[in-house]
A = this chain, B = another copy of it.
Amino acid sequence: MASQRRAVVLIVARDVRHEVLVDPWGAVLVDDYVRVMERFGLEPFTDELLKALPSPNKLMRRRVVFCHRDLWVIADAIRRREPFYVLTGIMPSALKIHLGTRMVIENFRYFQEAGATEAFLLVADVEAVATRGITLQEARRRALEFHIPAWLAMGIDPDRTKFYFQSENRTVLRLASCFSGRVTMAQMEAIYGEVTPGKVIAALLDAADVLYPQTRLPGAPGVIPVGIDQDPHMRLMRDIVHRTKAEFGFRPPASVYHKFTPSLDGSLKMSKSVPESCIEIPEDPGSVERKIWKALTGGRGSLAEQRAKGGQPEKCVVFELFKQHLIEDDRELDRIYEECRSGARICGECKTYATELMVELMEAFQARMEEARAIVKELEFIRE
CA distance A169 to B173 in the complex (A): 10
Is A279 in contact with chain B by the CB < 8 A criterion? no
Is A211 in contact with chain B by the CB < 8 A criterion? no
Chain B positions within 8 Å of A133 at CB level: 181
Cβ-closest chain B residue relative to A135: B247
Chain B positions within 8 Å of A196 at CB level: 180, 184-185
Instruction: Indicate if the CB atoms of B197 and A188 lie closer than 8 Å.
Output: yes
Is A10 in contact with chain B by the CB < 8 A criterion? no
* Residues 173-188 of A contacting B (Cβ, < 8 Å): 173-174, 176-178, 180-181, 183-185, 188
Chain B positions within 8 Å of A202 at CB level: 180
CA distance A204 to B196 in the complex (A): 13
Is A230 in contact with chain B by the CB < 8 A criterion? no
The digit string for A139-180, where 1 denotes a CB below 8 A from any CB of B, is 000000000000000000000000000111110011011101
CA distance A170 to B181 in the complex (A): 19
Is A201 in contact with chain B by the CB < 8 A criterion? yes
Instruction: Indicate if the CB atoms of B174 and A126 lie closer than 8 Å.
Output: yes
Q: Which of B126, B188, B195 contacts A177 (CB 8 A)?
A: B126
Is A131 in contact with chain B by the CB < 8 A criterion? yes
Q: Which of B167, B178, B185, B198 contacts A126 (CB 8 A)?
A: B178
Is A129 in contact with chain B by the CB < 8 A criterion? yes
Cβ-closest chain B residue relative to A165: B174
Closest chain B CB from A193 CB (angstroms): 12
Chain B positions within 8 Å of A247 at CB level: 135-136
Chain B positions within 8 Å of A167 at CB level: 170, 174, 178
- Counting chain B CB atoms within 10 Å of each CB, the highest count among A130, A169, A202 belongs to A130
If A126-B174, A174-B173 touch, whether A180 touches B168 (CB-CB below 8 Å) is: no
Instruction: Indicate if the CB atoms of A197 and B184 lie closer than 8 Å.
Output: yes
Instruction: Indicate if the CB atoms of B135 and A177 lie closer than 8 Å.
Output: no
Closest chain B CB from A189 CB (angstroms): 10
Instruction: Indicate if the CB atoms of B197 and A130 lie closer than 8 Å.
Output: no
Is A205 in contact with chain B by the CB < 8 A criterion? yes
Instruction: Indicate if the CB atoms of B131 and A181 lie closer than 8 Å.
Output: yes
Q: Which of B173, B183, B195 contacts A185 (CB 8 A)?
A: B195
Chain B positions within 8 Å of A136 at CB level: 174, 178, 247
Cβ-closest chain B residue relative to A132: B181
Closest chain B CB from A105 CB (angstroms): 26
Instruction: Indicate if the CB atoms of B200 and A130 lie closer than 8 Å.
Output: no
Chain B positions within 8 Å of A132 at CB level: 181
CA distance A382 to B330 in the complex (A): 57
Chain B positions within 8 Å of A126 at CB level: 174, 177-178
Chain B positions within 8 Å of A173 at CB level: 170, 173-174, 177
Closest chain B CB from A174 CB (angstroms): 5
Cβ-closest chain B residue relative to A244: B135
Chain B positions within 8 Å of A197 at CB level: 180-181, 183-185, 188, 200, 204
If A135-B247, A247-B135 touch, whether A198 touches B170 (CB-CB below 8 Å) is: no
Closest chain B CB from A363 CB (angstroms): 37
CA distance A320 to B247 in the complex (A): 43
Cβ-closest chain B residue relative to A247: B135
Chain B positions within 8 Å of A130 at CB level: 177-178, 180-181
Closest chain B CB from A179 CB (angstroms): 8
* Residues 194-234 of A contacting B (Cβ, < 8 Å): 195-198, 200-202, 204-205
Instruction: Please provide the 4 A-B residue pairs with the shortest distance between their CB atoms, ordered closest to farther.
Output: A173-B173, A180-B201, A130-B181, A181-B198
